[in-house]
Structure 1
Amino acid sequence: MGQDSRKPGGNETPSSPQPPIRDPPYAEYLYDIYRTRVMADQLPIVTTDPYLLEEQARKVMAKEVAATGDGRDAIPPRPAAFGYIAGGAGAGTTMAANRRALDSWALVPRMMRTGRRLPKTGTEGTEGTDAATAALRDLRVRLFGGPGRGPPVDLSSPVVMAPVGVQCAYHPDREVGVAAACAELGVPFSISTASSSSIEEIKASLDGTSVEDSAGSPSPAPWYQLYWPQDDTITASLLQRARAAGARVLLVTVDTFTIAWRPTDLDAGYLPFLTTNEGNAIGFNDPVFRKKLAESGEGEGEGEGEPTTPENSPLAAALGWTSEVFPRRGRPWSDIAILRKLWGDDGAILIKGIQHPDDALLARQHGADGVVVSNHGGRQVDGAVGSLEMLPEVVAAVREAEAREARETESIGAQPFTILFDSGIRTGSDIIKALCLGAQAVLVGRPVMYGLGIAGREGAKHTMAGLLADLDQTMNLIGCSSIADLGPHMLRKSGAPFKAAL
């Protein structure tokens, strides 16, 4: 398989070689589904229709899943857990706005384009146009790596698994299963602070997994998502554990410092951190949190004078942990300096939950390496703007600031501030639209969780593999052989008049 032959620019920090162009391509999964039907008379374990996926998850999670002959225990009904992942804030208008924003753009396919020349398969650094190479798309992207920071982060595709907490509520395979499924596909897994698996368990799962079709390449390093504790010593402990697990990218979620008004969860009385004691694993396993909890008073166990622990006082521990990570007030921008000191200059910091271009500029001003344009999938503020609607404004504001600074300092070649996108992604064309509008990669959450709820690890993998195949095949069909081919010129705003270029 070919390797990227591009050389780092003068201001880039040297890094390990990029992952190879995927061969066979992600699109081959489409044909695998047909082959499995013909050869084994088997249909997909999870629907391939993105708009039927939620309904299938609703039906499966509403009833008991029987025990299997291979020793898997029965799984009880999980309707409240389904509601937790599917529901949004208030009347759900922001969730609907996310889809309207994506659907308001249309792709304009181009035909009979040979595309850019890709590295010839099997010959490093040699350009070629053989049939095998011509069938491949270069979906690789490079993030970060600006002056004064660590090396770039290279991805096999512009897709990252979004941080999603409480995965044990959806299926017993939980985070360790989803992390392994993503790793097999070469997709980074984002560890949520609200995980039901510890950082160390997830790392062990990744260590035992290699990327498919890449000669046993190690799985991509995990990303870590922080719900920011009030106590900086607890924050330091969490970040040290994440770095020890290999994480170089820190996602700081800034739009969820308190829980929104979510009718689906309120009507079910379901807040997993307290009602079922799920989603607290990372906190309950943290040595600094445990020490502070023990110092807070006596536990509720049988022995007198026993220190409080998550084991003998689970409710007290859950209340203590949730008060740390959901403190009901946000942090000031200046506190990013605390995270930079704790995370280090060799790691990247992304601020997740940005909607306004001025906030993106503030994140950049205060030392972040990038932002995720996101409204938490419509789960936090009802009646808010669709996430994709704000992406072009954020991109324009940041790139204009970069160009202005470059003119003022007469500098060239600096790696741009990284801009990622999430909220509402369901299809390969959704991903392409976000990339055309300036995002460098996207995060995907709900669809993979529906796959997990339906069929565990294999369901999550099927859903992610299908999304990547859809992306890959759509790139092929619109005449784009690499991510570099995408841009606003590939889009048309729905309802806009056609303008011919003469």
Structure 2
Amino acid sequence: MSLGRSRQTRLYVRGLGGEKPRVPTDFARLERAAHEKMTPRGYAYVAGGAGLETTMRANRAAFERYTIVPRVLRGLDRRDSSVTLFGRTLPSPLLLAPIGVLEAAHSEADLAVAKASAATGVPFVFSSQASSPMEACAKVMKDAPRWFQLYWSTDDDVTRSFVKRAEACGCEAIVLTLDTTLLGWRPRDLNLGSLPFLRGQGIAQYLSDPVFRARLDREDASPSESPPRSPALALVARDLVVKGRQFDLDLKKMRAAVARFVGTYSRPDLSWDDVSRLREMTRLPILLKGVLHGDDAREAVGRGVNGLIVSNHGGRQIDGEVAALDALPDVVEAAGAAPVLFDSGVRSGADVFKALALGARAVLLGRPYVYGLALAGADGVRDVIENVLAELDLTMGLAGCGSLADVNRAMVRSSSS
């Protein structure tokens, strides 16, 4: 039985006994259920976008403009959705996108996602802004595929340390994110006055990094240990104490760590020359995430970059930005033989199909798996992955595609053309 039919059958059989899915199978219900489970600050961080959130809506509108044009009577019973990326054959063209502060959704955070990734064979891209150190996630995953997403700090030594650690814990590629050299204007977070990093959340890679920690030994970002003057600050101090215990850091060191992170988090002056420097730091394949223009794709390939990820950060950075799906065909053409991956706005297996048809070699899933995490931890992430892959399999079969090679530009049509 095919993947899609197997998943369908399991859910229907359970339904005979009155059991409904613990994780809704459609995105709208999934998001609503996660909203009810998460804290207001946590949900705002995950769900929110930049400005008026027009880019988020544009991402979805782009998917809706493309329609699938099936072929029939192809005699298909099973589909092959495997794909080879950088020498590794993967069971599907799906990866789990790097998302920071996963503790906003569930206490097990990245570790739960790592377990689901290992169970399904879907690669997990570790985030620089993780809630669990990359080494801990790698241990959970054993030989399962993982990549590392890099934010380039203003401290080059920390950046080099992150890359070395990623190599040491078995990451198979480095994903340099380009669209977050500054934090976008995010009203949902701003209206709550909520930046999770100030509470010590989402900085586990830094708190566990030997170079970053060595800097703390030479700094004192907290000149006074006097008690906080307000209940809100007392809660923040409590959060820092709890987080510090996980990394053997006292309150003073945690305050210093937060201050240092905020001061060095990202490089607004990141340039193409830095991409060339990264090429010298590692032998791992390098992908650039956040490429939306053909000229940037050509420049990247010319500098030895191994792959690209078309993304607008899920609409979280620039309000009114081009929809990622609309940018995909031009980047694919400009990239030549270099593999182009895609994220932003993906909500279903049918969405994955459309992105593949427009030239993506693989697709990264974001918010949906975070909502699954919020609802049921590792099991919830696994449910979301299996639902997306089941729908992809059924969509391929119903559209007459026996393999990913059949999912091409002829399979979709734009309503605007």
Both proteins in one fold, TM over 0.5: yes
- Equivalent in the alignment of 2:210: 287
Which of 378, 395, 398 aligns to 2:335? It is: 398
Deviating more after overlay: 51-60 vs 236-245:
51-60
- Equivalent in the alignment of 2:280: 341
Which of 124, 140, 150 aligns to 1:226? It is: 150
Aligned Cα root-mean-square deviation (Å): 1.8
State the alpha-carbon separation in 1 of the partners of residues 375 and 173 from structure 2.
Answer: 30
User: Shift of residue 316 of structure 1?
Assistant: 2.0
- Equivalent in the alignment of 2:131: 196
Which of 379, 382, 387 aligns to 2:319? It is: 382
Q: Which has the higher helix share?
A: 2
Matched-pair contact (CA < 8 Å) for 1:105–1:494: yes
Matched-pair contact (CA < 8 Å) for 1:310–1:316: no
Q: 1:181 to 1:27 in 2, by over 3 A?
A: farther
User: Shift of residue 310 of structure 1?
Assistant: 6.4
Equivalent residues in 2 for 1:269-288 (5 A)?
269-274=193-198, 276-288=199-211
Matched-pair contact (CA < 8 Å) for 1:284–1:310: no
- Equivalent in the alignment of 1:356: 293
Larger radius of gyration: 1
Give the unaligned 5+ runs of structure 2. 226-247
- Equivalent in the alignment of 1:262: 186
User: Shift of residue 54 of structure 1?
Assistant: 1.4
Aligned partner of 1:374: which letter?
S
Q: Secondary structure of 1:113's match?
A: coil
Q: Secondary structure of 2:363's match?
A: strand
Q: Secondary structure of 1:313's match?
A: helix
Q: 1:26 to 1:224 in 2, by over 3 A?
A: farther
User: Shift of residue 449 of structure 1?
Assistant: 0.5
State the alpha-carbon separation in 2 of the partners of residues 343 and 281 from structure 1.
Answer: 22
Q: 1:24 to 1:312 in 2, by over 3 A?
A: farther
User: Shift of residue 271 of structure 1?
Assistant: 0.6
Which of 15, 18, 21 aligns to 1:37? It is: 15
Which of 34, 43, 46 aligns to 2:23? It is: 46
Matched-pair contact (CA < 8 Å) for 1:294–1:309: no
Matched-pair contact (CA < 8 Å) for 2:175–2:287: yes
- Equivalent in the alignment of 2:244: none
Aligned partner of 1:455: which letter?
A
Q: Secondary structure of 2:27's match?
A: coil
User: Shift of residue 382 of structure 1?
Assistant: 0.3
State the alpha-carbon separation in 2 of the partners of residues 300 and 200 from structure 1.
Answer: 32
User: Shift of residue 322 of structure 1?
Assistant: 2.9
Matched-pair contact (CA < 8 Å) for 1:27–1:470: no
Q: Deviations over 1:207-253 (max 9, x none)?
A: 2xxxxxxxxxxx52211000111222211111111111110111100
Question: With CA pairs under 8 Å and 6+ residues apart, which has the higher RCO, 1 or 2?
Answer: 2
What TM-score does the superposition give when structure 1 sets the normalisation length? Answer: 0.76
Matched-pair contact (CA < 8 Å) for 1:141–1:158: yes
- Equivalent in the alignment of 2:170: 246
1:138 aligns with 2:70: no
Q: 1:486 to 1:449 in 2, by over 3 A?
A: same
- Equivalent in the alignment of 1:131: none
Identity within the alignment, % = 41
- Equivalent in the alignment of 1:92: 53
User: Shift of residue 136 of structure 1?
Assistant: 2.3
User: Shift of residue 365 of structure 1?
Assistant: 1.4
User: Shift of residue 35 of structure 1?
Assistant: 1.6
Aligned partner of 2:384: which letter?
T
Matched-pair contact (CA < 8 Å) for 2:221–2:256: no
Q: Secondary structure of 1:354's match?
A: coil
Matched-pair contact (CA < 8 Å) for 2:117–2:144: no
- Equivalent in the alignment of 1:324: 264
Matched-pair contact (CA < 8 Å) for 2:131–2:204: yes
- Equivalent in the alignment of 1:165: 100
Give the unaligned 5+ runs of structure 1. 1-22, 62-77, 116-134, 145-151, 208-218, 303-307, 400-415, 497-502
Which of 366, 372, 386 aligns to 2:309? It is: 372
Q: 1:201 to 1:474 in 2, by over 3 A?
A: same
- Equivalent in the alignment of 1:467: 388
Matched-pair contact (CA < 8 Å) for 2:56–2:315: yes
Q: 1:301 to 1:461 in 2, by over 3 A?
A: farther
Matched-pair contact (CA < 8 Å) for 2:2–2:79: no
User: Shift of residue 455 of structure 1?
Assistant: 2.0
Q: Secondary structure of 2:252's match?
A: coil
State the alpha-carbon separation in 2 of the partners of residues 339 and 316 from structure 1.
Answer: 28
Q: 1:396 to 1:268 in 2, by over 3 A?
A: same
Q: Deviations over 1:96-151 (max 9, x none)?
A: 11011111110001111025xxxxxxxxxxxxxxxxxxx3211011123xxxxxxx
User: Shift of residue 311 of structure 1?
Assistant: 4.9
Q: Secondary structure of 1:160's match?
A: strand
Q: Deviations over 1:58-88 (max 9, x none)?
A: 1222xxxxxxxxxxxxxxxx11100100000
Q: Secondary structure of 1:163's match?
A: coil
Aligned partner of 1:222: which letter?
R
- Equivalent in the alignment of 2:236: none
User: Shift of residue 427 of structure 1?
Assistant: 1.1
Which of 405, 408, 412 aligns to 1:484? It is: 405
Matched-pair contact (CA < 8 Å) for 1:429–1:471: yes
Which of 99, 116, 122 aligns to 1:181? It is: 116
Matched-pair contact (CA < 8 Å) for 2:328–2:358: yes
Which of 341, 345, 350 aligns to 1:429? It is: 350
Q: Deviations over 1:241-281 (max 9, x none)?
A: 1111110111100100111110000001111001x210011
Aligned partner of 2:260: which letter?
G
User: Shift of residue 448 of structure 1?
Assistant: 0.5
- Equivalent in the alignment of 1:213: none
Deviating more after overlay: 292-301 vs 42-51:
292-301
- Equivalent in the alignment of 1:72: none
State the alpha-carbon separation in 2 of the partners of residues 243 and 201 from structure 1.
Answer: 14
Aligned partner of 1:462: which letter?
D
User: Shift of residue 348 of structure 1?
Assistant: 0.7
Matched-pair contact (CA < 8 Å) for 1:309–1:317: no
What TM-score does the superposition give when structure 2 sets the normalisation length? Answer: 0.91
